Structure 1
């Protein structure tokens, strides 16, 4: 099955969609790609000594052409499901956004965005895989490991935050994100995977009170 854009490219389209929903009820929303030595360093800590923040994690997922005209496939990897399981224990909600398109020219079509709530994930031993009708949000088939992920509407994201997210002081926020980022490294990434930042990293949306 052929890929034609990366998860990072998908993030550039999905982030504005999430911010648009969250902005209806929150005035300060900051999307970040977290590095402990940048967003989590002492300078950042000194700038955010007051106030509390809720954390939403989003994993972008990319489509693959599967050989059938009008269909694309996608998956949520088992390490992402494991991440979501642990994130909920820390008071962090986890979603995934999948863009069900068959051409990079259609990335801005929000009608093709499929949103998953991963916060009820259990420890999965396999990837959750699915097939979609291209250029729509219609899922045609899901494998058995999709049983722990829920398809949601974009507007449900705010409710998910209210139900799961715990207000954290900034130092707690840094420690929680740092710990969670360790979870998504694949077992076979080895030294070079860790050194080069391998594994899946979400976009974090910080919702400041």
Structure 2
């Protein structure tokens, strides 16, 4: 049985700087946030981005799971809840990505560690899904209907083609209402479930194509 040795939050510290670098190919200004209604969703924050067109990207960090230290194989689990949230977000023009650090022990968890990227989608069938990869990121086995591996260039292409330009006030409303609109929201309405990191892509000058 494979187990984790880091949390999603620890994985975020590795993934977010590298994912941000990909987004800088789209715009000179990328703003990563962990959304709270009373902070990033406040009137003060709304005023800061007033009249600026943006694209919003959601990102879920995943933990590597291994059978033993220095294993050649890494399992990545995608909980069904992620696909409920993906369905809601993509319906509102927000693209959803995920990533996992390609590490198999704690002392490999460092800035600059190699990472694997995924684009999340949503079909009518929503259940936990798994991808098995090696330490180079090659997919060995996938039991998925809602995930596709993606390169750095692919991230930019997907955002260019599928992310809608939004006003920040509209984006805040979409984020705030997400849990209330989930298909299976009873469990997560109170607990909150998995919260993505959001990236605001400032398109006030232009979003690079």
TM-score by length of 2: 0.86
Q: Report the secondary structure of 1:94's partner residue.
A: strand
Question: Any residues of structure 2 matched to 1:41-120 within 5 Å, and which?
Answer: 41-66=42-67, 69-108=71-110, 112-118=114-120, 120=121
8 A contact 2:25–2:156 mirrored in 1: no
Deviations 1:107-150 (A, max 9, x none): 347674211111x32133311112222x321121112xx12311
Partner residue in 1 for 2:207: none
Which deviates further from its counterpart, 66-75 or 83-92? 66-75
Moved over 4 A (4+): 184-187
Question: Any residues of structure 2 matched to 1:106-145 within 5 Å, and which?
Answer: 106-108=108-110, 112-118=114-120, 120-133=121-134, 135-143=135-143
State the distance in 2 between where 1:74 and 1:35 align: 27
Q: 1:204 and 2:198 equivalent?
A: yes
Q: Residues 27, 184 of structure 1: CA spacing in aligned structure 2 closer, same or farther, 3 A cutoff?
A: farther
**Aligned-residue CA RMSD (Å):** 2.2
The answer for unaligned runs of 5 or more in structure 1 is none
State the distance in 2 between where 1:190 and 1:121 align: 20
TM-score by length of 1: 0.86
Give the count of matched residue pairs. 200
Q: Report the secondary structure of 1:37's partner residue.
A: coil
The answer for unaligned runs of 5 or more in structure 2 is 204-209
